[in-house]
Amino acid sequence: MGVMMKREGTQLQATFRHVSSLPRTDIVDCFNRLVARQRKLSQPQLCDLQARLLGPQGALEKFSRQVSREGRKTPGLDHLAVPGGSRHRLLAEKCAYFVLSLHRRYKVTVNPLNEMPRTLLCCMIFDQAAPYTLAERFAAMQALRQQDSAYFVKLIATTRHTVERRLVFVGLLEHFDALMPIEQSIYPRDYRTVQQGHLNREEALYGALKLDKPLIQLFEEHSPQWLLDNLCTGADTGKVT
């Protein structure tokens, strides 16, 4: 989420700071403020916002289809008039080229947001008050989906050759709790309760896991097999040979 004042026009140019230029603590603060605003909305309102932005007929999917048809003429690719200075213009340009490349309208281009943290990506996608281009929001959405996909691949890998599922349910709960309210809105209302129940049953059988950091950080340091071998010890985990 960019740091903005409520005034429009030339004042915006001077007050907007792209979220990627902020210190980590400020990014987290921006994320938390956005979460607080979303929590004031009802479940139907959140679902409607999610559909209008990310759904099959939402703004970002419509933008993607338009890029496929019209290429560089598509509104939302223009990066020359964005506020935030040259750094914002450069990032918006890179995002535009990435989107074009997805539709074979430009050479293969890596998503410039791939290594950005989830909090930052969410701010770019969901802060409708900040002047990010559609290309930036779309690139952020793609990066977020890629990160989530990679996380779930690793989570599923912890189920190989064992019948116990403690790491899976810990990981599902951690992921859900990290989502913004608008992201959680598309899940079943009892999703968290159900997953917690599964974890409780696993812990009754095998004991509680002792993790010194979130699972997503452990995945950055160790393989799923290492976690199974080193964190799921001390109990009969029912390994399948």
Tens digits of pLDDT across the chain (241 residues): 343 333 344 444 456 788 988 999 999 999 999 999 999 999 999 999 999 999 999 999 999 999 999 999 999 898 887 887 888 999 999 999 999 999 999 999 999 999 999 999 999 999 998 999 999 999 999 999 999 999 999 999 999 888 989 999 999 999 999 999 999 999 999 999 999 999 999 999 999 998 999 999 999 999 999 998 888 865 444 554 4
The pLDDT value given to residue 83: 83
| Gyration radius from the chain CA atoms | 21
Supply 50's token pair. 């999610």
1 neighbors 106 (Cβ within 8 angstroms): no
Residue numbers of the domain that contains 116: 10-145
Q: How many CB atoms lie within 10 A of CB 220?
A: 10
Is there a single domain that holds both residue 53 and residue 137? Answer: yes
| Domain end marker among 94, 117, 145 | 145
Round to whole Å and give the CA distance between 139 and 94. 9
Round to whole Å and give the CA distance between 138 and 142. 6
Is residue 2 included in any domain, yes or no?
A: no
Angle between helices 224-231 and 166-178 (to 10 degrees): 120
Is there a single domain that holds both residue 77 and residue 46? Answer: yes
Is there a single domain that holds both residue 208 and residue 133? Answer: no
| Domain end marker among 121, 145, 169 | 145
Count of domains in the chain? 2
| Domain end marker among 122, 145, 168 | 145
Is there a single domain that holds both residue 93 and residue 29? Answer: yes
| Assessment of whether the complete model's pTM goes beyond 0.95 | no
Nearest CA-CA partner of 43 in 173, 180, 182: 182
Q: How many CB atoms lie within 10 A of CB 2?
A: 23
Round to whole Å and give the CA distance between 209 and 231. 7
The pLDDT value given to residue 2: 40
Q: How many CB atoms lie within 10 A of CB 14?
A: 10
Nearest CA-CA partner of 37 in 45, 21, 133: 45
Is residue 4 included in any domain, yes or no?
A: no
Is there a single domain that holds both residue 141 and residue 70? Answer: yes
Is there a single domain that holds both residue 20 and residue 129? Answer: yes
Q: Which residues pair with 239 in a beta bridge?
A: 162
Is there a single domain that holds both residue 74 and residue 120? Answer: yes
Is residue 239 included in any domain, yes or no?
A: no
The pLDDT value given to residue 241: 43
Is residue 65 included in any domain, yes or no?
A: yes
Is there a single domain that holds both residue 22 and residue 84? Answer: yes
Round to whole Å and give the CA distance between 197 and 199. 5
Is there a single domain that holds both residue 105 and residue 169? Answer: no
Is there a single domain that holds both residue 139 and residue 38? Answer: yes
Is residue 226 included in any domain, yes or no?
A: yes
